[in-house]
């Protein structure tokens, strides 16, 4: 959210809006596919008697790589797990970097690196929250904070007014365009199966996901456009939007709300990563007094990498480019086409495609899956990874590793 105005600057306003709207619908589509896979797997496991554990309860948390592996085999599970782990790692690193940058924008008494060390230590403590069911009320509070922040940013930009030099209608060069694409058009499915698994009726998750996506876009698209019109020069050099906004009492309130939100976001995204870690070291089904402390090495590694490479926008974009096209689109879409290639499986699909397709049956659905896969593999993965690696190298050359204050000179 805080990095989107800068990413829209890179792509240009027109292309940025198109990318955000189109990717929203693409994400809803692929999430519908994941719900089908989840329900299919659950139904099969219930029939086999393997869904419920001892005592008629289920303690094991379903994860994306397990669902993909159930239908695609062991190697697909390993590949998906690796990619999901990378995606979650990048998102968690971003929370460490963002929270420190947010506080620095209103209090420059310490360097960003000092804030990263402090916030990293605090965020690690949130790794001990056991499951997603413990986040429901905190999530609501976080949503209030993000909504307040979106309207604050939009209002601050409108109050500042459109400035000369706002001609952002076209991309800022091929390299910048694809760096922006990697964030604005990315898929966000790395922790969705865990959320789906925590619902009483997981079959309705695609609706919840879609409504949430549309709500977030109603907020983020206007403020991204407004910032580019009001601060066209400043946003070019600040990947965190707080860096271009003047310090006011409202900004301070917004910053603290967003820091709270980032603590929640860290918890939501680190939990699936920690589940993988627990399963790898065989503590996932142990009592909490064994299971939760075993998470510490993984959480400390995330903190370390965040301090090592605190390049907020570039880190976001790089991890999105290298993982999003696969876990959000290529793997579920192509697996769907392969698994439901036979009439028998299509007839037993737990969620039948809309009658909108009419006599064409499943063919348009398969075609859309192939088209989305090719689009994301070429544009986001192909070009995005190459240009983001180049950008990371440039940042390391300019600021080094463990930089004390990345982008501090330009901060408002």
The per-residue pLDDT for range 349-379, each reduced to its tens digit, is 888 776 556 667 788 899 999 999 999 999 8
Mean pLDDT across the stretch 201-219?
A: 81
Residue 383 has pLDDT above 60, yes or no: yes
Which of 299, 140, 108 has the alpha carbon at shortest distance from 212? 140
To the nearest 10 degrees (0 to 180), the angle between helices 296-308 and 112-125 is 160
153's CB contacts (< 8 A; 6+ apart) are 5, 223, 226, 227, 241, 245, 254
- pLDDT of amino acid 355: 59
The pair of structure tokens assigned to 142 is: 């976080």
Sign of CA dihedral 288, 293, 294, 299: positive
Q: What is the distance between the alpha carbons of residues 29 and 17, in angstroms, rounded to a whole number?
A: 19
Query: In which band, very low, low, confident or very high, does the pLDDT at 60 lie, cut at 50, 70 and 90?
Result: confident
Which of 218, 235, 104 has the alpha carbon at shortest distance from 157? 235
pTM of the model: 0.84
Radius of gyration (C-alpha) of the chain in whole angstroms: 21
The per-residue pLDDT for range 267-282, each reduced to its tens digit, is 888 888 888 888 889 8
Are 329 and 376 spatial neighbours (Cβ–Cβ below 8 Å)? yes
The per-residue pLDDT for range 100-133, each reduced to its tens digit, is 889 999 998 888 889 989 988 988 887 877 765 5
- Per DSSP, the three-state class of 2 is coil
């Amino acid at each position: 959210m805080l990095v989107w105005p800068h990413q829209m600057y890179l792509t240009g306003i027109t292309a940025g809006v198109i990318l955000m709207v189109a990717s929203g619908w693409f994400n809803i589509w692929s999430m519908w596919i994941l719900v089908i896979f989840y329900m299919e797997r659950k139904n099969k496991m219930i029939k086999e008697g393997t869904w419920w554990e001892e005592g008629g309860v289920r303690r094991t948390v379903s994860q994306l790589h397990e669902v993909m592996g159930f239908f695609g085999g062991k190697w697909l599970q390993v590949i998906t797990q690796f990619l999901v782990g990378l995606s979650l790692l990048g998102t968690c690193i971003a929370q460490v970097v963002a929270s420190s940058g947010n506080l620095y924008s209103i209090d420059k008494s310490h360097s960003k690196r000092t804030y990263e060390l402090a916030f990293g230590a605090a965020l690690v403590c949130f790794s001990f929250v056991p499951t997603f069911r413990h986040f429901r009320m905190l999530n609501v509070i976080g949503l209030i904070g993000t909504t307040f922040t979106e309207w604050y940013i939009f209002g601050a930009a409108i109050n500042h007014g459109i400035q000369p030099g706002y001609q952002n209608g076209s991309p800022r060069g091929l390299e910048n365009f694809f760096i922006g694409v990697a964030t604005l058009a990315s898929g966000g499915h790395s922790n969705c199966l865990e959320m789906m698994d925590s619902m009483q009726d997981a079959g309705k998750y695609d609706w919840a996901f879609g409504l949430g996506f549309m709500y977030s876009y109603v907020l983020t698209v206007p403020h991204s456009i407004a910032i580019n019109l009001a601060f066209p020069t400043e946003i070019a050099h600040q990947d965190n939007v707080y860096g271009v906004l003047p310090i006011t009492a409202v900004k301070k309130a917004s910053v603290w709300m967003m820091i709270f939100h980032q603590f929640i976001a860290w918890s939501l995204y680190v939990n699936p990563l920690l589940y993988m870690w627990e399963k790898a070291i065989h503590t996932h089904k142990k009592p909490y007094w064994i299971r939760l402390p075993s998470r510490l090495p993984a959480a400390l590694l995330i903190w370390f990498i965040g301090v090592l490479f605190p390049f907020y926008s570039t880190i976001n974009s790089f991890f999105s480019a290298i993982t999003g096209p696969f876990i959000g689109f290529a793997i579920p879409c192509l697996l769907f086409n392969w698994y439901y290639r036979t009439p028998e499986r299509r007839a037993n699909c737990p969620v039948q495609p809309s009658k909108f397709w009419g006599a064409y049956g499943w063919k348009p659905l398969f075609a859309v899956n192939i088209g989305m896969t090719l689009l994301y593999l070429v544009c986001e993965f192909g070009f995005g990874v190459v240009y983001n690696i180049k950008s990371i190298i440039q940042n390391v050359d300019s600021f080094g590793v463990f930089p004390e204050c990345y982008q501090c000179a330009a901060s408002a």
